[in-house]
Structures are given as structure tokens and as C-alpha cells.
Amino acid sequence: MSVEETSGRLPVADRAAMVGAIKRLILEDRRAFAGVVALYVAAAGASAALPVMLGEVIDGIGSGWTAARVDLVCGVIVACVVLQLVLMRTGRRLGYRLGERAAARLRESFIDRVLRLPLGVVERAGTGDLATRTSGDVGAVAELLRKTAPEVAVAMIEGTVIIVAAFVVSPLLGLLFVVGMPMLFIAGRRYLRAASPVFLSERAAMSEIAETATASAAGASTVAAYRMQGERGEAGYARAATHMERLKGIVRLQTWFFPATDLTFLTPAVVVTVVGALWYLNDWVTVGEVVAVAMLTLRLDGPVFRSMMSLSEFQMGGAAMARVEGVHLMPDEVREAAPEGAEVRLDEVTFGYGDGPDVLHGLRLHPRRGERLVVVGPSGAGKSTIARLVAGIDRPRSGAVTLGGAPVADIPLETLRRKVILVTQEHYIFTASLRENLNLAAPEADDEALRSALETVDARWAVDLPEGLDTMLGDEHHRLNLAEAQQLALARVILADPDVVILDEATAGIDPGSAGNVEAALAAALHGRTVIAIAHQLQAAESADRIAVVQDGRIAEEGGHAELLEAGGAYASLWRAWKGVAV
């Protein structure tokens, strides 16, 4: 697999894989690509014909052409100008469409791949890295495909045709014409080799900025509570300073490259004019040939300059493509286990995050079918880790987490998500109507079912929306607060109708007066299904069928509310502490 691993981040494809990906995108529309190239070649031929015919006119006047013949050739020159404009305009329009289609295919395939990434991989990569690849990098590649790449292609075709035309006019002058090419080739090759790692590091620095900004924004309340504004600000400035250094590296490359490019423009024109004049005096070439080739050298300035100026954007697009393709080259998780039923079991489970110490130690937990099991315990005991394991986000280091006898982490995601749903405090509201946000969980559900689900979770705010289920949600439309977003997420659970529901503080954002009603309504709506509720506030435990107390990564005790209070163990201590705080 042609990827370069980066610590804590998604991989980056190497140069060969990146170039191969761009070729595949273009060749998927090969007929249109061939047509665009043909138009560009024809336009370049019409452009190169202008100085060639002008040289013919100069020599023709010297050799006694009639006025009619001169007028005829001049008319052809004008026709070539018009033809070049028509061909170039048509080629650019079709090339832009070709690039847009390729960019659309890239976006679709990239989003499809991202949606199939394991959630654990996404979390380890960081939201900033993935967000930058999804938005900035995909956008940069789209710009490369629809604009920069066609510009470079046009310049290369036009330059090649001009060089060929110079040799057709005069092989001797053609040799002088290419005297600056080695310098241009060396400078371009050196620039490309030096620029690639610099642009890749610049894109990576952008990811770090996005990661820092996202973390600071998401944890704004925590930052304020612990007075960490200065620390987070310094972290942001440090990431920005790193990005500035990367940009300075790009500028340093360009300060020597562009002057070297300018020199290659001037050298051939001077050499052709001076040496061509001497050769004319020796009757080796004609005045028209010198004029034609000299004009061709000047016309080469345009395509070469455009292609050189596009190299920075080309490098930036190439670096972005390497990051996009790196996600495509990640191996798919092999998930082929088939559950039989929906019984959940955790047997002798040991788990730790990354290279860190174990969080769970030989944990055993067997929720019964249709049971409402509430998992409680002090902060850091491993409650949310249990939820992640049952949801198939993480794999245990040892032991087994199974659903219907199959390892949860080996069940195909589509199958697993129909059977198990994890609801946390974090919920995403799509910029779409309320109906569309709900139908994500059950596309076939009618309006009556949607309203019933909202009523079940006590989402009374939905009744007052100006356009009912057709009301657009999102930052630019009707914004939901945390409690409303959580109720929407819980309504999705009811509509999805899974076998197992994991609620990890799913009602934490709802005011305490309503939280009990919502939990009771959920319990009734999910009757007959296994519900595993991770609770930090113990009011959810009173009505549970069974309570499991987690301490130090192990199940300390299990039982009903009254039974555990009477036992006077860990649960009783937690309950007394919680009631004392409440009072």
C-alpha cells in the first residue's frame, strides 16, 4: 500500500499513488479528455501559425509577392486569430466541465470512503485533520482538476507546438530556440522536488490549526471554567506560527525559482535575434525566418510563464490530493461476523486506549434481553468505555464483547447499526428539514410516526415550529439548543427501533425536571429492547431493572436499587453522596 504514515493522523499517499489517482479521475472520462486535448492542440497550431506566416509575408515581400497575395496571406492570419480564439474558448469550456465532473466524482468517492471509516480511526485522527481533508483538501484538488491542470495542459501543448513550429521554420534557428530549455528544465525539476515536502507540511500545519481551533470551540465551557483561555490562545498562536514558517518556506523557494524562469524567457529571444542576424549576413537564414523564430520565442513566454506560475497551485493541489488519496488507501476493516439474536455479553474484558494502561480489567457484564441496565460509578471508572465496546467502536485487548454470539467489532457496520445504537451527549443536526433529520433513522417513516417519536421524548418545541416538520434546521435556519438536539437524537432512536440501545448520558442536557419524564417515556417506548444506560446522575438508576456499579475498571456489585442500598456497598455510598449534593 503506497501510503506514508503520520503519527496520530490519517495517512498521506506517496507521489506515485497521488499521480495514479489523478490519472484515474481523468481517464474515467477519456473521450471528453481526448476531445479537449485535440481542441487545445488545434488552438496551439493556429497560434503558432501566426508568426510563421508573418515571416513568410516578410520574405515574400522581399521576393516580389503581389499585393493580392500579401492580402490573401494576411487574411489567413486574421482567420487563424479568430480560429484560435474559438478553439481555445471551446476547449477551456469543455475542459472546465471535464474538471468539474472529475471533482464531483472525487467528492462522492471521498465522502463514501470517510463514511466507511471506523469511528475509532476517525477519533484517533482528530476532527481537525479529517475536516481539513474533507473541505480544504478536496476543494484544492477540485480547483486543480477544473482550473490549474487545464491551464498547465494548455501551456504545455502550446509550448510544444511552438517549439515544433520553430524547427519547421528553420532547424538552425530551432536549435538556438531551445538554448534556454535545459535551464528551465533544471529549475523546474529542482523546484518540484523541493516544493513537494514543503507544501505537504503546509497542508499538515493547516490541519493542526483546524484541530486546535475545533478543540477550543468544542470545549469552550471547560476552557472558561478552568480559566484556560490563555493556554488555548497560546496553543493557537503556536500552530499559526508554525503555519507561517511553512508559508515562508514556500516564498523562499519562489524567490529563486521565478527569477530563474524569467531568465529562460529572455535568453532564447536574445540568442535568436543576435545569432540569427549574423547568420542572415552569411545567407544561412532569411529575414523572415529570423523574425518568425524570434516571435515564436516571445510567444513561448506566455505558456511557460503560465505553467511556471501554476506550479505553486499545482504543488498545493498535488499535496492535497496526496492527503485525500491517503484516506482511500487505508485498508478496509474486515467485518464478516453474523450475530444470531441480540444478546450482549462482556466476558473477561481488558481494554486500554492506545499504548496507555488498562482501563478495564477482566470485566464481566451480561445484560439480559429486554432489560434496562444502568451502569454507574465514579468518574474515570470505565463506564463510557463499556458503551464504546458494546457499540463496536473499540476492540478489547483481551476477552470478548459479543452480540448474538458474534464479536461486536467484527460485525459489518450496516448490520451492527441496525441492531445497536449509541446515543451520547454530542448530536449533529444536519442543515435540512426536521423531517429529513428524523428520516435519517427511518427513511420509510410517515409524518405520524415522526410526530409520535417527538411526542414520546417530550419534544414539545417541535409543535411550535413555524413550518412544522418542514422547518429547516441548522445554524443558518432554526437553531436547536442542547436539550432540543438531544431530544431529536432520542426520537431518532425510537424511529430506528434497534435491538440494543446504549444511552451514554443521553439526557444530560435536558433540565432535571424534564429528564425523568423523558427517561420514563423512553423506557416505555423501548420496552422489550435491551437498554444500557451510562449514568453520572443517579436519578436514572431508581427505575432500572438492574444496576451495575463500575469501580477501577471492574464490576463492583450488581442488583436492584433497593437491594444495593440495603447492602451498603459502593452504590449506597454513591447514592448518599449524590443525594447530599442534590440537597
pLDDT attached to residue 332: 75
The yes-or-no verdict on residue 3 having pLDDT over 50 is: no
Closest among 544, 545, 566, 570 to 557, alpha carbons compared = 570
- Indicate the SS3 state at residue 59: helix
CB count within 10 Å of CB 332 equals 9
Tell me which of 474 and 194 has the higher pLDDT.
474
CA distance linking residue 293 with residue 270, whole number of Å: 11
Q: 435-448: per-residue pLDDT in tens?
A: 999 998 888 999 99
pLDDT attached to residue 4: 45
Contacts for 324 with CB less than 8 Å, ≥ 6 apart: 21, 106, 110, 133, 137, 138, 141
The yes-or-no verdict on residue 184 having pLDDT over 70 is: no
**Residue 443 is placed in which grid cell?**
427513511
Tell me which of 18 and 118 has the higher pLDDT.
18
Closest among 453, 532, 538, 442 to 487, alpha carbons compared = 453
DSSP lists the bridge partners of residue 433 as: 472
pLDDT attached to residue 122: 73
The number of CA neighbours under 13 Å toward the Cβ of 1 is 14
Grid look-up 477519533 returns 123
- Indicate the SS3 state at residue 65: coil
DSSP 171-184: HHHHHHHGGGHHHH
Backbone phi and psi for residue 510, each to the nearest 5 degrees, phi listed first: -90, 140
Q: 257-315: per-residue pLDDT in tens?
A: 777 766 666 777 788 888 888 898 888 989 988 888 888 887 877 787 777 667 767 77
CA distance linking residue 376 with residue 358, whole number of Å: 19
Closest among 457, 443, 434, 576 to 523, alpha carbons compared = 457
Proportion of the chain above pLDDT 70, given as a percent = 90
With beta carbons less than 8 A apart as the criterion, state whether 206 and 135 touch. no
The yes-or-no verdict on residue 407 having pLDDT over 90 is: yes
The yes-or-no verdict on residue 236 having pLDDT over 90 is: no
With beta carbons less than 8 A apart as the criterion, state whether 54 and 292 touch. yes
Kindly indicate the confidence band of residue 522, based on its pLDDT and cuts at 50, 70 and 90. Answer: low
Secondary structure letter of residue 396 according to DSSP? -
The pTM (predicted TM-score) of the whole model is: 0.61
pLDDT attached to residue 519: 62
pLDDT attached to residue 239: 86
pLDDT attached to residue 22: 84
What does pLDDT average to over the chain?
82
Closest among 313, 311, 303 to 265, alpha carbons compared = 303
Q: Delineate the domains of the chain, giving CATH numbers in brackets.
A: 18-328 (1.20.1560.10), 344-582 (3.40.50.300)
With beta carbons less than 8 A apart as the criterion, state whether 463 and 366 touch. no
Q: CA torsion sign, 374 to 375 to 377 to 379?
A: negative
The number of CA neighbours under 13 Å toward the Cβ of 582 is 10
Q: What is the mean pLDDT of residues 317-336?
A: 83
Helix 447-456 and helix 482-496, axial crossing angle in degrees, nearest 10 = 120
The yes-or-no verdict on residue 324 having pLDDT over 90 is: no
Q: 68-87: per-residue pLDDT in tens?
A: 888 898 898 899 889 989 99
**Residue 238 is placed in which grid cell?**
503556536
Q: What is the mean pLDDT of residues 10-33?
A: 85
Q: What is the mean pLDDT of residues 305-326?
A: 78
CA distance linking residue 332 with residue 216, whole number of Å: 31
Q: CA torsion sign, 446 to 451 to 454 to 456?
A: negative
Q: 151-175: per-residue pLDDT in tens?
A: 788 888 888 888 888 888 888 888 8
**Residue 322 is placed in which grid cell?**
496526496
pLDDT attached to residue 7: 47
| Furthest-apart CA atoms within the chain: distance in Å | 121
DSSP 464-482: G-TTGGG-BBSTTSBPP-H
Q: Residue type for 40, please?
A: Y
Kindly indicate the confidence band of residue 427, based on its pLDDT and cuts at 50, 70 and 90. Answer: confident
Q: Residue type for 277, please?
A: A
Which of the residue ranges 109-118, 310-319, 428-437 has the most confident prediction, judged by mean pLDDT?
Answer: 428-437
**Residue 211 is placed in which grid cell?**
484541530
Backbone phi and psi for residue 186, each to the nearest 5 degrees, phi listed first: -65, -45
pLDDT attached to residue 172: 87
Q: What is the mean pLDDT of residues 114-132?
A: 73
With beta carbons less than 8 A apart as the criterion, state whether 442 and 475 touch. no
Secondary structure letter of residue 378 according to DSSP? S
